[in-house]
Structure 1
Amino acid sequence: MKSWIRMAGVAMMLAASGMASAGAKVTYVDTEEMTDVPRFAVDRESMEIHFREHLQRLAEQLPAGQQLNVEFRDIDLAGDQFPRVAIQDVRVLKGRADWPRMDFHYSIEQDGKVIKSGDAKLADPNYLMSTNRYDNEMYSHEKQMLEDWFRKELLGKKR
Structure 2
Amino acid sequence: MNKKLTRTLFAGMVLLATSAAWADTQVQYDKPDQFTDLPFDQSQRDSVLKDLTAHFEQLGKKLPAGQNLQINITDIDLAGREDPRLRGISDIRVMNGRVDWPRIRLHYVLEQNGKVISSADSSLSDMSYLSRINRYSSGDRLRYEKLMIDDWFTNTFGIDAQAKR
TM-score range, shorter chain: 0.7 to 0.9
The C-alpha deviation readout for 1:79-126, integer Å capped at 9, x for no partner, is 001233454211111111100001000110122221100000011110
C-alpha displacement at 1:4, in angstroms? 7.2
TM-score using structure 1 length: 0.88
Q: Any conservation in 2 of the 1:152–1:158 contact (CA below 8 Å)?
A: no
User: Is 1:153 equivalent to 2:156 in the alignment?
Assistant: yes
Alignment of 1:9-48 (within 5 A): 10-48=11-49
CA distance 1:5–1:89, change in 2 (3 Å): farther
Partner of residue 96, structure 1: 98
User: Is 1:131 equivalent to 2:133 in the alignment?
Assistant: yes
CA distance 1:154–1:8, change in 2 (3 Å): same
TM-score using structure 2 length: 0.85
CA distance 1:40–1:15, change in 2 (3 Å): farther
C-alpha displacement at 1:46, in angstroms? 0.9
Partner of residue 71, structure 1: 72
Unmatched 5+ residue regions in structure 1?
Answer: none
> How many Å separate the matches in 2 of 1:19 and 1:157?
23
* Higher mean displacement: 96-105 or 10-19: 10-19
Partner of residue 107, structure 2: 105
Q: Any conservation in 2 of the 1:71–1:104 contact (CA below 8 Å)?
A: yes
One-letter amino acid of the counterpart of residue 75, structure 2: D
One-letter amino acid of the counterpart of residue 123, structure 1: S
C-alpha displacement at 1:78, in angstroms? 0.1
> How many Å separate the matches in 2 of 1:108 and 1:13?
26
RMSD: 2.4
Q: 3-state SS of the aligned residue for 1:149?
A: helix
CA distance 1:80–1:111, change in 2 (3 Å): same
Bigger Rg, structure 1 or 2? 2
> How many Å separate the matches in 1 of 2:92 and 2:141?
13
One-letter amino acid of the counterpart of residue 21, structure 2: A
1:140 to 143, 150, 158: 143
> How many Å separate the matches in 1 of 2:147 and 2:20?
27
* Higher mean displacement: 109-118 or 78-87: 78-87
Partner of residue 117, structure 2: 115
> How many Å separate the matches in 2 of 1:88 and 1:4?
51
> How many Å separate the matches in 1 of 2:136 and 2:46?
20
The C-alpha deviation readout for 1:48-99, integer Å capped at 9, x for no partner, is 1111111111112211010111100000000001233454211111111100
Q: 3-state SS of the aligned residue for 1:42?
A: helix
